[in-house]
Amino acid sequence: MDERTVALSDAVAALRLSEARLRAILDSAFDVIVTVDEAQTIVQVNRAATAMFGITEEAFVGMSITHLMPERFRARHGADLTAFGRGDQQRRSMGRSREV
């Protein structure tokens, strides 16, 4: 193997280890964690999310985050995203913690 191949192999191994650590952290959390991309498409969830919603991780990935919101909050969410994108809003509290 040449030096470049060894470096690439080491980088791939490090990435896999990092992904495994992240997965372990996510799945050890009792709270639901749902990660979305810039289009608000779900890219990752933890075990708590699959247990709460009764949806497999495979079914979650690619789904719009709005599918998890009550209908009455969907329009507001879109407006908040637009304001955030324009820079009008730096952060917004997602609400008080409550039992679900």
> Has residue 42 got a pLDDT over 90?
yes
Residue 14, in any domain of the structure: yes
Boundaries of domain holding 52: 32-93
Residue percentage of the chain with pLDDT more than 90? 56
Residue 88, in any domain of the structure: yes
Taking residues 46-74, what's their average pLDDT?
92
Domain containing residue 76: CATH number: 3.30.450.20
Residues 67 and 40 in one domain: yes
DSSP string, the chain: --HHHHHHHHHHHHHHHHHHHHHHHHHH-SS--EEE-TTSBEEEE-HHHHHHHT--HHHHTT-BGGGGS-HHHHHHHHHHHHHHHHTS-S----------
**Distance between CA atoms of 41 and 37, rounded to whole angstroms?**
6
> Has residue 100 got a pLDDT over 70?
no
pLDDT of residue 98: 55
Lowest mean pLDDT among 6-10, 34-38, 40-44, 87-91: 87-91
pLDDT of residue 1: 73
* Cβ atoms < 10 Å from Cβ of 55: 16
Residues 21 and 62 in one domain: no
> Has residue 17 got a pLDDT over 90?
yes
Does the global pTM surpass 0.75?
no
pLDDT of residue 11: 95
**Distance between CA atoms of 93 and 78, rounded to whole angstroms?**
15
pLDDT of residue 80: 80
